[in-house]
């Protein structure tokens, strides 16, 4: 019929011949078509999971397209990674938006209405193979450099927190999709570059920290434990939760920044025994966070030990036990100073600490 409008994305999403990569490209910019794409026979499980992750409030049930499509915000894959708390990838979002801008303008003009029966949209252009190859070559170069940097952290107990390797693995899976489009190839190349730059910056910062600029025992202990990848600040008074009445907060590790240890000032400690025990306790919390980062469900071996009832079911008492085991101490009291959470772990718990430390590469004297 004269004047009828055509929605190419809707047509492609309902055409059983549309290849998987084209479905992925449409899903990245058309959240209103996620339910339709879920019903497509070429929609692979990873794509369906991705749509559910980026738009958890949307309808992802496999069903027919509604008569009046509702446009949702066009947030692409770059937004998903940024929203995960991963390495900064804001630059990817800018690139994707710029590349899709022309397509988005065209879709706004045609109104996105359902096509009349018999309407046939113009065939999608073939991907620019040379451009795809160029972007994939950039991706491979960035990926290779990234993994070289990862290798430098081999055996480091905080490597899972520094490298966030699982995010790069997701990008690697996207890059391996057969028939990847130019847009997707640019996206994986840009994200690989972002991850490499972030990790490079972490390595540079760690090299500077190893110098023990403060010349203090606490910084020396922290730098040695993480080879410079753990930061230390003497701001426990402001950064940590307030202690109970009659107690003093000597240190903490904040969940949102598990690679930084906050301590009381060096001069506030009663002596080196207290400094060593407090640092070891807080290091245990850093290792607990790194341990959890190794698993998809965010629950590490330390969490499982605590759930089994060891250390009286407390991750704080587990941290005390790590300090006691590390320094072969059997008391949390030295002179007039009592540290920790009031429980001295037994022999079986100390053995569990040694085995856990070996599993996560945490330092532990023989």
pLDDT of residue 106: 36
Clarify whether residues 176 and 313 are in a common domain: no
CA distance 47 to 23: 9
- List C-alpha distances in Å: 257 to 49, 79, 85, 191: 28, 21, 11, 22
What is the pTM for the complete model shown? 0.66
Q: Considering its fold, how many domains does the chain have in total?
A: 3
Clarify whether residues 196 and 146 are in a common domain: yes
pLDDT of residue 27: 85
In a domain, 193, yes or no: yes
Angle at 303 between CA 147 and CA 251, to 5 degrees: 85
Clarify whether residues 314 and 273 are in a common domain: yes
CA distance 337 to 169: 48
pLDDT of residue 118: 32
Clarify whether residues 258 and 156 are in a common domain: no
In a domain, 112, yes or no: no
Clarify whether residues 263 and 354 are in a common domain: yes
Question: In which residue are the tokens 């999709």 written?
Answer: 177
pLDDT of residue 288: 98
Clarify whether residues 191 and 290 are in a common domain: no
For residues 37 and 11, the answer to whether their CB atoms sit within 8 Å is no
For residues 188 and 146, the answer to whether their CB atoms sit within 8 Å is no
pLDDT of residue 6: 58
In a domain, 99, yes or no: no
Clarify whether residues 266 and 350 are in a common domain: yes
Q: Which two three-digit tokens encode residue 238?
A: 């402001």
Clarify whether residues 63 and 146 are in a common domain: no
Q: Which of 75, 107, 139 is the last residue of a domain?
A: 75
Per-residue pLDDT in tens (0 to 9) along the chain, 366 residues: 443 445 778 878 888 878 887 888 888 888 888 988 888 888 888 788 888 877 766 655 544 433 333 333 333 333 232 333 333 333 333 333 343 344 333 333 333 333 333 332 333 344 458 899 999 999 999 999 999 999 999 999 999 999 989 889 989 998 998 888 888 899 899 999 999 999 999 999 999 999 999 999 999 999 999 999 999 999 999 999 887 777 889 999 998 999 999 999 999 999 999 999 999 999 999 999 999 999 988 899 999 999 999 999 999 999 999 999 999 999 999 999 999 999 999 999 999 999 999 999 999 997
In a domain, 103, yes or no: no
| Dihedral (CA of 210, 261, 225, 298) sign | negative
| Dihedral (CA of 290, 294, 299, 301) sign | negative
Clarify whether residues 226 and 348 are in a common domain: yes
Q: Where are the beta strands (DSSP E) in 182-240?
A: 231-233
pLDDT of residue 262: 97
Q: Please give the helix or strand (H or E) that residue 338 lies within, else none.
A: strand 337-338
In a domain, 121, yes or no: no
CA distance 20 to 298: 30
Q: Which of 35, 50, 75 is the last residue of a domain?
A: 75
pLDDT of residue 26: 86
In a domain, 343, yes or no: yes
Clarify whether residues 272 and 188 are in a common domain: no
Clarify whether residues 203 and 139 are in a common domain: yes
In a domain, 142, yes or no: yes
Domain span including residue 234: 213-360
In a domain, 104, yes or no: no
- List C-alpha distances in Å: 40 to 8, 23, 33, 45, 292: 15, 9, 11, 11, 36
Which pairing describes strands 260-263 and 231-233: parallel, antiparallel, or unpaired?
parallel
Q: Which of 183, 209, 235 is the last residue of a domain?
A: 209
Clarify whether residues 350 and 255 are in a common domain: yes
């Amino acid at each position: 019929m004269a004047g009828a409008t055509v929605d190419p994305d809707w047509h492609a999403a309902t055409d059983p011949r549309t290849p998987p990569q084209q479905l992925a490209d449409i899903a990245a910019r058309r959240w209103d078509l996620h339910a339709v794409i879920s019903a497509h026979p070429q929609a692979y499980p990873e794509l369906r999971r991705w749509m559910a992750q980026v738009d958890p409030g949307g309808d992802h049930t496999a069903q027919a397209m509604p008569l009046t499509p509702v446009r949702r915000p066009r947030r692409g894959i770059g937004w998903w990674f940024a929203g995960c708390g991963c390495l900064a990838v804001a630059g990817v979002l800018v690139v994707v938006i710029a590349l899709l801008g022309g397509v988005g303008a065209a879709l706004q003009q045609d109104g996105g209405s359902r096509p009349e029966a018999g309407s046939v949209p113009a065939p999608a252009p073939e991907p620019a193979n040379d451009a795809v190859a160029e972007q994939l070559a950039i991706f491979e170069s960035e990926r290779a450099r990234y993994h070289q940097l990862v290798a430098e952290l081999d055996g480091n107990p905080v490597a899972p927190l520094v490298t966030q390797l699982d995010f790069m693995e997701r990008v690697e899976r996207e890059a391996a999709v057969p028939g990847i489009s130019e847009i997707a190839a640019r996206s994986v190349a840009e994200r690989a570059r972002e991850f490499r730059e972030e990790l490079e910056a972490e390595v540079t910062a760690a090299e500077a920290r190893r110098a023990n600029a403060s010349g203090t025992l606490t910084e020396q202990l922290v730098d040695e434990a993480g080879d410079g990848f753990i930061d230390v600040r003497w701001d426990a008074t402001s950064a940590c939760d307030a202690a109970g009445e009659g107690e003093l907060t000597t240190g903490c590790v904040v969940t949102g920044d598990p690679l930084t240890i906050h301590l009381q000032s060096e001069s506030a400690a009663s002596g080196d025994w207290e400094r060593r025990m407090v640092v070891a306790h807080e290091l245990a919390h850093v290792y607990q966070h790194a341990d959890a980062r190794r698993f998809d469900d965010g629950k590490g071996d330390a969490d499982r030990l605590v759930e089994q009832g060891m250390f009286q079911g407390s991750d704080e008492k587990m941290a005390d036990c790590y300090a006691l085991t590390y320094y072969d101490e059997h008391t949390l009291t030295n002179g007039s100073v009592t540290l920790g959470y009031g429980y001295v772990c037994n022999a079986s718990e100390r053995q569990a600490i040694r085995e856990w430390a070996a599993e996560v590469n945490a330092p532990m004297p023989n």
